[in-house]
Amino acid sequence: MNLWLGLLMGFKEIWAHKFRSFLTMLGVILGVASLLSMFSLTAGMARGMREYMTQVGGIEFVGVINQEVPPHQEYLWEISPGRTVADADAISRARALVTYVSPVVDINANVVAGAENFRGEVKGAWPDYMPINKHIVEVGRDLCWLDVETAQRVAVIGRSVVEKLWPETPNYNAVGETIVINQRPFRVVGIFEYYEREEDKRRRELGLQNAASGGGNRRRESNFGRGGPFGRKNMQIIIPLSTAFYEFRSANLVGKEDQGPNHKLDGLVFQVADTSRFHETLDRVTEILKITHRGIEDFGFDTREEWFDRIEQNVKSVRASGGLIAGISLIVGGIGITNIMLASITERIREIGVRRAVGAKGRDIFVQIVVESAVIGFIGGLLGLIASLGVMRILVAISPAENAPVLELNNVLISFSFAVIIGVFSGLYPAWKAARIEPIEALRYG
């Protein structure tokens, strides 16, 4: 007997007992539905977190931070100049390992344009700051080295800044406008694109109402967006580093006394060229910085590596535990199949006898029963995939997540093949039993 005929017979058998077969499949259907929904929910979660990670610079982003001096160097710490532009210059020479590097100074500023104003943070940086932080200029131009060399009073600003300063005109092209940062006029030369989650973008493009927030504003930010990396990124104002030093750091008043210019940086960020050589790169940068810091180890690294690992770890463990629970329900479905198949062979013992009498081998009977239960698993799996769409809707309705479930092909395949495997395995024992029935016994029965 060939497999094709076996499959045909399996389908026929199932069709002959539609309702019973459906009840048998129900366990598998629900199992597959919950398995796939769970996979899709975690996939959505993972995607959200990865998007977040990319927004804040991705895994290749490294920040140089100040750190406690080790005890044996404590009496020396004053000889280190701290983080300065010299560090950035030195790191920038290691181009093979570091693609971009930028020093950063933060200026707490009052920003004014016309009648509108707000307090915010202005960052002085090199043009490299943009690619390190995955900034994309939508209108106008990026910062350039000439701006830095000649300390131009220019600024590239985020979309939300434009909206704050020109609230009357939506999507205003503010390039060429002047904004006043701590009483100094700056010309806006570029505006960043609006940063948001893929999902929000899709929703906005489709013109869908975001259930989480009402109101008529063109850009509504979810809770995740306003305080999160997207919101912060949209509120950035970037000016040339040199300008920031000349305009805001050339005098350092404490009380009424000038302490002289402040050369220290508030940040120093770079991008690793090859993440597979991440640690090697950090070692090299450490060597470089030890030279510029006169051997004092008063710096450390803020990397996303651990963060990334933790995300992957979390996703994996959620996936594993959810998968286990859903898998158990699928196995319960499999037990249901075994049970029904056992009942079914008792019911069909005469048929088995007839088949044996006309020449079926035990093996043929075995294959027939296994194929039949595999077909139940197969159909149950297919229906389960369809049902999972409904289950996901229900889950999203019950607990509106920030990240919508993502249906991934490999998850679909895993869930489906698990159903078929369960089908095959649940058929093994009934099939073995059926194959062992003596033909004479079977013919005598009934």
Q: Give the binding site for other proteins (CB under 8 A).
A: 1-2, 5, 12-13, 16, 350-351, 353-364, 439-440, 443
Q: 22, 371 in Cβ contact below 8 A? A: no
The CA-CA-CA angle for residues 310, 315, 318, to 5°, reads 120
Closer to other proteins at the Cβ: 13 or 199? Answer: 13
Nearer to other proteins, 13 or 298 (CB): 13
Q: In angstroms, what is the minimal distance from the CB of 436 to other proteins?
A: 10
Give the nearest distance from C-beta 354 to other proteins in angstroms: 5
Nearest distance in Å: CB 363, other proteins? 7
> Taking the complex as a whole, how short is the minimal distance between the CB of residue 357 and other proteins, in angstroms?
5
In whole angstroms, give the CA distance from residue 406 to residue 442: 52
User: Of the two residues 322 and 362, which places its CB atom closer to other proteins in the complex?
Assistant: 362
Between 20 and 393, name the residue whose CB sits nearer to other proteins.
20
Q: Are 299 and 67 contacting, i.e. CB atoms less than 8 angstroms apart? A: yes
Closest separation in Å from C-beta 393 to other proteins: 39
Whether the Cβ atoms of residue 373 and residue 334 lie closer than 8 Å to each other: no
E-state strands within 342-406: none
Q: Which is nearer to other proteins, 141 or 350 (CB)?
A: 350
Helix (H/G/I), strand (E/B), else coil: 96: coil
Q: Which is nearer to other proteins, 8 or 208 (CB)?
A: 8
Handedness of CA 369, 374, 375, 380 (dihedral sign): positive
Given the complex with other proteins, which of 12 and 95 has the nearer CB atom?
12
Q: Smallest gap, in angstroms, from Cβ of residue 437 to other proteins? A: 12
Contact 133, 238 (CB under 8 A): no
DSSP 8-state code for residue 127: T
In 281-392, which ranges are E strands?
Answer: 299-303
For residue 366, the minimal CB distance to other proteins (Å) is 12
- β-partners of residue 215 are none
- CB hemisphere CA count around 85 (13 angstroms): 12
- Amino acid (one-letter) located at 215: G
- Closer CB to other proteins, residue 202 or residue 363? 363
Q: CA dihedral defined by 288, 291, 292, 298, rounded to 10 degrees?
A: 90
CB of 21 to other proteins, least distance (A): 14
User: Residue 368 or residue 373: which is nearer to other proteins going by CB?
Assistant: 368
Q: Residue length, the chain?
A: 446
Per-residue CA distances from 225 to 47, 169, 186, 212, 411 (Å): 15, 22, 28, 12, 29
- Residue closer to other proteins by CB (options 135, 355) is 355
* CB 323 within 8 Å of CB 38: yes
Continuous H helices in 150-277: 159-165, 198-206, 223-227, 229-234, 241-244
CB-based burial, 334-357: b 16+ in 10 Å, e otherwise: bebbbebbbebbeebbeebbebbe
**Residues ≥6 apart with Cβ < 8 Å to 230:** 55, 195, 196, 197, 221, 224
